[in-house]
């Protein structure tokens, strides 16, 4: 089973967002990582930027609240910080990704970027741990590409926020991805040439900007419980149904006569 996502929204075709993101990999990671390892960097950076853009508007308020809670020796700060961030997560570091963009020294950038990651709330820390993204930082810094990677993800031509980007007149300039266009396909386990061939044949002709969410793809067997465990019962004949209805009518008439006596 695989899930396909589409980014088509309004007259604009935003299927290029996926190509844009993976184009970052070709531009920045190509000489450092083999192609199969691009996802170790690109996927967590996409998530980080998506969280970052949501937290940008409330960042000053979160830092102010954090200072107040620390001054009051409040131990459990999670609920107050989430409320201030207006999200189910927050970041208490003094940085945003935009702040890190201007760093020129790689070692300083590494230290500040690590502080930025450490500032995320515990629920985001769990996600970063699953990605093992911190393991990639030494490679990115040694290759002198961490700054370029961050700068690419800050490109104003791409919108990773769930909210649309408006122009000065309030018109939608960059629509947000529409999760309502997400769909799931069931692909035979022995599909010739695999999932990619199935998508090219059955999906892309109708949704040309769709792509496969590899993290949501599941491989397994489907057991039809109806086929193997349901035992159909023969339908009653019309004569049996009619006889039952007539019996109920006679019983009902008897009950009514007892009531109105």
pLDDT by residue (tens digit) across 97-106? 988 876 668 7
**pLDDT at residue 70 in the model:** 94
The pTM of the whole model exceeds 0.85? no
Q: Terminus-to-terminus CA distance in the chain, angstroms?
A: 67
Q: Is the pLDDT of residue 168 over 70?
A: no
Residues near 43 by Cβ (< 8 Å), separated by ≥ 6? 131, 215
Question: Cα separation of 6 and 123, whole Å?
Answer: 27
Q: No. of H helices and E strands in the chain?
A: 12, 5
d(CA 74, CA 66): 10
Average pLDDT over residues 222-241: 79
Kindly give, in sequence order, each residue whose CB lies less than 8 Å from that of residue 40, ignoring residues fewer than 6 positions away.
Answer: 33, 131, 132, 133, 136
At residue 2, the 3 state secondary structure works out as strand
Range with top average pLDDT, 103-112, 122-131, 164-173, 227-236: 122-131
Structure confidence at residue 260 as a pLDDT band (50, 70, 90): low
CB of 141 closer than 8 Å to CB of 106 = yes
Residue 215: per-residue pLDDT:
62
Task: Give the DSSP letter string of 78-126.
Answer: HHHHHHHHTSS--B-SS--HHHHTT--SHHHHHHHHHHHHHTB-HHHHH
The pLDDT value recorded for residue 24 is: 83
In tens, the pLDDT along 38-59 reads 889 988 998 899 899 889 999 9
d(CA 103, CA 170) in angstroms, rounded, equals 33
Q: Are 25 and 145 in contact (CB under 8 A)?
A: no
Q: Average model confidence (pLDDT) for the chain?
A: 79
pLDDT at 85: 93
pLDDT band of 202, cuts 50, 70, 90: confident
């Amino acid at each position: 089973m695989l899930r396909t996502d589409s980014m088509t929204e309004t007259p604009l075709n935003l299927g290029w967002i996926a190509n844009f993101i993976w184009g970052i990999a070709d531009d920045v990671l190509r000489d450092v990582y083999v192609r199969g390892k691009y996802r170790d960097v690109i996927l967590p950076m996409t998530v980080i930027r998506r969280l970052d853009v949501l937290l940008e508007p409330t960042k000053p308020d979160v830092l102010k609240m954090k200072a107040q809670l620390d001054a009051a020796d409040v131990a459990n700060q999670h609920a107050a910080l989430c409320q201030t961030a207006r999200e189910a997560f927050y970041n208490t570091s003094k940085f945003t990704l935009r702040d890190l963009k201007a760093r020129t020294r790689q070692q300083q950038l590494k230290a500040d970027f690590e502080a930025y990651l450490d500032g995320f709330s515990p629920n985001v820390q769990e996600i970063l741990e699953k990605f093992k993204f911190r393991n990639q930082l030494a490679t990115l810094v040694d290759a002198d590409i961490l700054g370029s990677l961050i700068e690419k993800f800050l490109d104003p031509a791409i919108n990773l926020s769930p909210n649309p980007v408006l122009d000065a007149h309030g018109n939608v300039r960059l629509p947000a991805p529409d999760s309502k266009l997400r769909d799931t396909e069931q692909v035979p386990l022995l599909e010739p040439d695999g999932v990619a061939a199935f998508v090219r044949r059955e999906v892309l002709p109708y949704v040309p900007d769709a792509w496969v969410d590899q993290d949501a793809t599941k491989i397994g067997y489907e057991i039809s419980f109806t086929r193997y465990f349901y035992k159909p019962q023969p339908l009653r004949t019309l004569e049996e149904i009619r006889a039952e209805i007539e019996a109920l009518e006679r019983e009902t008439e008897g009950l009514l006569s007892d009531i109105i006596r």
